Amino acid sequence: MAVEMAGEPAIETRDLTKVYGSGNTEVVAMRDANVLVRKGEVVALLGPSGSGKSTFLTAVGLINPPTSGQILIGDQLVMDGPQAQVNLRTFRRTQIGYVFQKSNLITFLNARENVQIAMELDGMPSRDARHRALELLGELGVADRAEHGVSMLSGGQQQRVAVARALANSPSVLLADEPTAALDSRLGRQVMELFRRVARDHGAGVIVVTHDQRTLDVFDAVYEMEDGRIHAQPADIGPPKNS
Amino acid sequence: MNLAIKDIRANLGRFTLTTLGIGMLLMIVMGMAGIYRGLVEDATLLVERIGADLWVVQKDTRGPFAEVSRVPRNLVHRVTTVPGVATAREFVFHTIQRQHLGKPLRISLLGLSWPQDKGEWLPLIAGRPIGQSRFELVADKSLGLTLGEELKLGKDTYTVVGITTGMLSTGGDGMAFTTVWDAQVIQFDAPSEAIRLERAARDQRGQTSEVFLREPALSERMGLPATELAAVPVPALSAVVVRLLPHADSRQVEELIASWGDTSVFTREGQNDLLLQGMVDKARRQLGMFRALLTLIAAIIMALIIYTLTLDKLYSIALLKLIGAPNRVILGLILQQALLLGGLGYLLAYTLGLRLFPYFPRRVVLANEDLIQLAIVVVVISVVSSLLGIVKALRVQPNSVLMG
Ligand SMILES: Nc1ncnc2c1ncn2[C@@H]1O[C@H](COP(=O)(O)OP(=O)(O)O)[C@@H](O)[C@H]1O
Ligand SMILES: [Mg+2]
């Protein structure tokens, strides 16, 4: 399956621009961003703080509508300027997985339930969802924390639960904003490898915002952002390494 | 996975306390409906128990329970002759207040027309009905009298031979039952001096009244108690109660008796309606007002707690939206919590009420009708009280998770 899909576009943005505020407080956080991520690809997004990485990621994640420009997921146009072309809530639930910088778990659920709910919302029977949630937590090495409340988990553990939830619905787009910041390098690498596997097995397109220069070797492409503008690092552009 | 339950689990203490509070409020609301029912039942109990088809009372009065009604004794015989009447009986009813063991004791005294009526229809829990024509008394439990106790009323002493339960007059006073004769003796008991004066006054009237001039023999009977005088008696009965023959035309009988000029007639329903309008209506409105207020307070408390519970998990709600939870999931989460709060509160109110209401000073009657009505009200206030939280939750933007 992965082989057939490789090469087709997973995520494509065209002249994506985001302006926050207006008048005196106007901030152009992103200007004419053009990015293409193919199915099976894992790309990195680098850049200094305030350069617009999160703005880009949340736009592509369909939670922060762009001021202008287009977003295509697969071959479907989903955002045309600030106008949604599909039901965003449904699209997010079925197609997109997120891991964000700071912990983003539902506080009144325990670790296992946080993963399970993503699948149940997508219509998976409770029993199957529970089984799969435990499986995913196992892969991320936090199976023994499955029944712990969110507040009982360390930052690294919370991040791994968030990764498990992002992977739960086998998304076609996986977006991660500094997912390894709270993890030690061994775990960080392990998470990156999981991302790779999702890309390969499901033909997902993966974008990871990172500061960690040491892990750049696992990416198929590296984009760099500066003052709201995105450019690819030429050396790293090429066909997906693992397909 | 039920998100509403999961969130409650995480806020168990707060939720439990609120449920307790709501439950107690609802219990009072429930109890107030029950107190009103009790009032109505107490008010109409006697009329229902006596089971008369028609009540014949003094012209233009509203019957023995609502005000003083006086009809002459011979009315019984007049009524008996009306076609369609099966039986007509004397009815004497009045309330007295005496000192008993140093405390005021209010008794609503009902005369039974001995020997046809010995009080077999009374709900006795101890003792027996009236067994002789005088000096015996059946008392309600609520009067606090004991079986065999002797009670001095007027110049005579009465023995408590039976105890009833739940026999209260419209005013909530405990009832006692004697023969009509005794009831009248107690009612018209007067100090000796008053009797002497009354006899002198009668003699005076006798000197001038044409009746006595034409029949001097009559004046010899002037010394008898007022109630035994045939020609110049004080009207001595409160009312005459009538039972109709089966298939008799109630309307016709009613109209005939009412046409007599000294009587008014009520059906049983008419008598009940009068009682309810006169005595219970104000109480109903008062209790109704309290119920409405308490229901409102319960709704406000519910709204407040649902709102704060929602505020506390706004982040999680935004996150749920972020991972694509449809609005109905979020709406369901809040609505279910409100309904659960209301439902548990209601259950608590009911179970607590069943235990506590028997200790209330007045009777509390939980009618199914009222219980169902309150249940519907609880559902409505649960829904309404969750609106504030729902609006807040539906407004929160999914990307608010990523800010700050
Ligand atoms: N909600 C917002 N309102 C106004 N300005 C914002 C908002 N979010 C981000 N910005 C601004 O947009 C620019 C890009 O921010 P961001 O995308 O968070 O960059 P990065 O993730 O690379 O640090 C910054 O100047 C930031 O201050
Ligand atoms: Mg950022």
Ligand 1 pocket, A48 CB below 6 A?
A: no
Query: Are residue B70 and residue B137 in the same domain, yes or no?
Result: yes
The 10s digit of each residue's pLDDT in B173-184 is 889 999 988 888
Q: Cα(A144)–Cα(A141) distance, rounded to whole angstroms?
A: 8
% of chain A surpassing 70 pLDDT: 93
Q: How far is CA A168 from the centre of its chain?
A: 13
CB of B234 within 8 A of CB of B247?
A: no
Query: Are residue B203 and residue B108 in the same domain, yes or no?
Result: yes
Q: Cα(B370)–Cα(B33) distance, rounded to whole angstroms?
A: 7
Query: Are residue B69 and residue B12 in the same domain, yes or no?
Result: no
Neighbours of A34 (CB within 10 A): 14
Starting at the edge strand found earlier in the chain, the sheet holding A96-99 runs: A96-99, A173-177, A205-209, A42-46, A221-226, A229-232
User: By the CB < 8 Å criterion, does B394 face chain A?
Assistant: no
Q: Which CATH code fits A9-103+171-235?
A: 3.40.50.300
CB of B387 within 8 A of CB of B306?
A: no
Q: Is the pLDDT of residue B6 over 60?
A: yes
**What was the pLDDT predicted at A13?**
95
**Which of B279, B308, B332 corresponds to the end of one domain?**
B279
Query: Are residue B168 and residue B200 in the same domain, yes or no?
Result: yes
What are the residue ranges of helices labelled H in B51-191? 75-80, 180-187
Contacts of residue B165, Cβ cutoff 8 Å, sequence gap at least 6: B123, B125, B140, B141
Element (H, E) at B277: none
Query: Are residue B231 and residue B241 in the same domain, yes or no?
Result: yes
Q: Cα(A193)–Cα(A100) distance, rounded to whole angstroms?
A: 17
Do the chains contact at A58 and B10, CB–CB below 8 Å? no
Element (H, E) at B198: helix B192-208
Residue type, B99: Q
Mutual angle of helices B12-50 and B281-312, in 10-degree steps = 160
Tokens 């279910």 sit on residue: B336
Identify which of A94, A102, A108 has the shortest CB distance to residue B6.
Answer: A108
Q: Is the pLDDT of residue B274 over 60?
A: yes
Q: Which of A130-144, B205-219, B390-404 has the lowest mean pLDDT?
A: B205-219
User: By the CB < 8 Å criterion, does B398 face chain A?
Assistant: yes
How do the domains of chain A map onto residue ranges?
A: 9-103+171-235
A104, A147, A152, A178, best to mutate vs chain B, most B CBs in 10 Å: A104
Query: Are residue B295 and residue B273 in the same domain, yes or no?
Result: no
**Which of B279, B310, B331 corresponds to the end of one domain?**
B279
Do the chains contact at B401 and A106, CB–CB below 8 Å? no
The protein residue with its alpha carbon nearest to ligand 1, atom 7, reads A20
Q: Cα(A70)–Cα(A84) distance, rounded to whole angstroms?
A: 10
Paired residues of B237 in beta bridges: B71
The 10s digit of each residue's pLDDT in A206-233 is 999 988 777 788 899 999 999 999 998 7
Tokens 């019984």 sit on residue: B76
**What was the pLDDT predicted at B223?**
64
The 10s digit of each residue's pLDDT in A129-159 is 999 999 999 988 899 999 999 999 988 889 8
Q: Cα(B370)–Cα(A177) distance, rounded to whole angstroms?
A: 58
**What was the pLDDT predicted at B222?**
63
Q: Cα(B302)–Cα(B22) distance, rounded to whole angstroms?
A: 8
Give the number of residues written for chain B.
Answer: 404
Q: Cα(A218)–Cα(B108) distance, rounded to whole angstroms?
A: 98
Query: Are residue B320 and residue B197 in the same domain, yes or no?
Result: no
Pairing of strands A96-99, A173-177: parallel
Query: Are residue B37 and residue B116 in the same domain, yes or no?
Result: no
Query: Are residue B20 and residue B65 in the same domain, yes or no?
Result: no
What per-residue string of b and e applies to A139-161 under the rule 16 or more CB within 10 Å gives b?
A: bbebeebbeebbeebeebbbbbb
Query: Are residue B95 and residue B220 in the same domain, yes or no?
Result: yes
How far B7 CA sits from the closest chain A CA (Å)? 5
Percentages helix, strand, coil for chain B (3-state, rounded to 5) are 55, 20, 25
∠A53-A235-A30 over CA atoms, to 5°?
Answer: 20
Query: Are residue B293 and residue B202 in the same domain, yes or no?
Result: no
Specify the number of domains making up chain B.
2
Query: Are residue B147 and residue B261 in the same domain, yes or no?
Result: yes
**Which of B221, B246, B279 corresponds to the end of one domain?**
B279
Q: Which domain holds residue B327?
A: 3-43+281-400
Q: Is the pLDDT of residue B304 over 70?
A: yes
Identify which of B6, B11, B401 has the shortest CB distance to residue A113.
Answer: B6
How far A179 CA sits from the closest chain B CA (Å)? 14
